[in-house]
């Protein structure tokens, strides 16, 4: 991952964290302006920005945006996980 990609992921994290925290519209618009300046007008669909935003959403138990990440946020069902842990080995 390049430095630019990491920066875009971090900006996505910053934006989604502020949005979930309920910061003022003016503060959220300042972050969006920073995203437009650094990523471009299509920042909302940039794969690295979406990756950062989805990471925050998963941490808060929210559905992911899904535009880019696909099934990356899905966890195996708990019953399947337990089956793997407790199955007998021959």
Domain chopping of the chain, boundaries = 3-79
What CA–CA distance (Å, rounded) separates 73 from 51? 10
Cα(33)–Cα(15) distance, integer angstroms: 10
| DSSP H helices in the chain | 3-21, 25-38, 47-59, 78-86
34-60 per-position pLDDT tens digit: 999 999 999 999 999 999 999 999 999
**Residue the block writes with tokens 């935003």:** 53
The segment with the largest mean pLDDT, out of 2-6, 37-41, 65-69, 74-78, is 37-41
* pTM score of the predicted model: 0.71
Q: Tally helices (H) and strands (E) across the chain.
A: 4, 0
CA dist 34 and 86 (Å) reads 49
């Amino acid at each position: 991952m390049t430095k630019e990609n990491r920066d875009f992921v971090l900006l996505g994290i910053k934006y989604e964290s502020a949005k979930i925290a309920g910061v003022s519209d003016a503060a959220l618009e300042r972050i969006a302006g920073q995203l437009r300046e650094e990523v471009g007008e299509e920042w909302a669909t940039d794969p690295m920005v979406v990756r950062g935003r989805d990471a925050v959403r998963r941490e808060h138990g929210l559905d992911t945006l899904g535009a880019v990440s696909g099934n990356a946020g899905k966890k195996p069902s708990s019953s399947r996980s337990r089956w793997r842990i407790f199955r007998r080995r021959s």
